[in-house]
Amino acid sequence: MRRKFSIVLISLVAIISFSSNGFALDGKKLFKEKLCVNCHGESGIPLVKNYPILSGQNQKYLMNQTIDIISGKRKHGITVLMEKNPLLQSLEPKEVEAITLYLSELKNGLPFP
């Protein structure tokens, strides 16, 4: 009985924390849908050498950089590739959060074991 109760409790905690922190969006799917993959590679390892590796970077950092690039605050010769993209201009903060969470949980393009 005690065991059953703890299983129910653990599942409840998992459901609540999953739905309340805004990470219910599928970051991996969004990363594809918003075409980030075209430049940054399917798992955050870019095909073009001078594009940054997003796989495994700190989530807060990735999120701030994405927002700064889209808003034009971070400017650099090649940020224009990202900044002027209408699909990126329509990103919602929650979507950026979900995408960057997905990226931060990868290591060398692979999920942590």
Q: Which two tokens stand for residue 33?
A: 């849908």
User: What would the x/- binding string for ligand HEC be over residues 17 to 46, using CB under 6 A?
Assistant: -----------------xxx-xxx------
Task: Find all residues with CB under 8 Å of 29, minimum gap 6, and list them.
Answer: none
- Which of residues 9 and 78 has its CB atom nearest to ligand HEC in the complex? 78
**Interacting residue with ligand HEC among 81, 89, 90, 108 (CB under 6 A):** 81
The 10 Å CB-count burial string (b at 16+, else e) for 7-46 is eeeeeeeeeeeeeeeeeebebbebbeebebeebbbebbbb
Residue 111, φ and ψ in degrees, nearest 5: -65, 150
User: Does position 106 bind ligand HEC by CB under 6 A?
Assistant: no
Q: How far is the CB of 17 from ligand HEC (least distance, A)?
A: 24
Where does this chain bind ligand HEC (CB under 6 A)?
34-36, 38-40, 51-52, 54, 62, 65-66, 69, 76, 78-79, 81-82, 85, 88, 91, 99
